[in-house]
Amino acid sequence: MKIDKIFLDFDDTMVDSSKVIVELLNRRFGTHEDVANLNTWNYTNLFPTIKGIEIEELFDSAEFFELLEWKEGAVDFINKFHDIITIVSKGNEMNLYRKEMWIRKTFPDIKFIGIEPDVSKSIVEMGMGDCIIDDSAENLINSTAQMRIMFESFKHVEWNEKFYSVCEDKIFMRAYTYIVQNYISDNWKEIENIVMENMK
């Protein structure tokens, strides 16, 4: 296939968002929880008393973006495919504003689409020749992109579990005029190789 466009997720795909959230919560509660043990999207398996609004406030905070770092290999990947990349991320108004400003410090002219938290990423038109890279099974399964790659920041957790069963066969047919290809990877160099292989 010829890849025309790549749609990249942000949190826990290009950057270690959950690592920062757990660090901030450890500071707040005086705990020493390890992000590697996270398995719920709302962080309650590590911090049972935490409320959703408190997590949202952390994602909005200046401190969150001060601590945030790119995942290893993510910047190289974006540089390589910059002209066909669009970053697609969900968040509230403050989070999306600060997220876009943070991204533009490294990539001033990268395409960016911000989506409200309760709106599906499926509103972004994708199809034949398009690739989506995301850590959420829901975002991947609902996408009509021809290539879907799950970035595996965490293994078999509640927000990505469904995609493993979808990927029992790497390539499978859907009700489209093209074959959808599914992949799972936990590093950007391997994803770069997958994309390059499929651009030949």
pLDDT, tens digit (0-9, with 9 covering 90-100), for 103-118: 999 999 999 999 999 9
Residues 154 and 92 in one domain: yes
* Nearest partner of 7 among 163, 111, 104, 133, judged by Cα: 133
What's the CA gap between 167 and 98, in Å, rounded?
Answer: 34
Q: Answer whether residue 87 shows pLDDT above 70.
A: yes
Number of domains in the chain: 2
One DSSP character per residue, 107-155 reads -TT-EEEEE-TTS-GGGS---TTEEEEES-HHHHHT---SEEEEE-SSS
| 27 neighbors 106 (Cβ within 8 angstroms) | no
Domain end call among 41, 67, 93? 67
177 DSSP assignment: S
Q: Which is higher by pLDDT, 8 or 158?
A: 8
CA-derived radius of gyration, the chain? 17
Q: Are 149 and 141 in contact (CB under 8 A)?
A: no
Residues 165-197 have pLDDT tens digits of 777 655 454 556 677 888 999 999 999 999 998
Range of the domain at 137: 5-15+70-197
Stated pTM of the model: 0.92
Per-residue pLDDT band for 162 (boundaries 50, 70, 90) equals confident
β-strand partners of 111: 86
pLDDT tens for each residue of 38-76: 999 999 999 999 999 999 999 999 999 999 999 999 999
- Does residue 163 sit in the same domain as residue 97? yes
Q: Which CATH number do you get for residue 178?
A: 3.40.50.1000
- Separation between Cα atoms, residue 129 and residue 116, nearest integer Å: 26
CB 154 within 8 Å of CB 39: yes
Kindly state whether residues 161 and 115 are assigned to the same domain. yes
How far is Cα 124 from Cα 143, in angstroms, rounded to an integer? Answer: 8
Distance from C-alpha of 148 to C-alpha of 183, rounded to nearest angstrom: 6
Asked if residues 114 and 100 have their Cβ atoms less than 8 Å apart, the reply is yes
Residue 37 shares a structural domain with residue 74: no
pLDDT band at 124; cut points 50, 70, 90: very high
Count of other CB atoms within 10 angstroms of residue 89: 21
My answer on whether 81 and 172 are in the same domain is: yes
Pair 94, 141 in one domain: yes
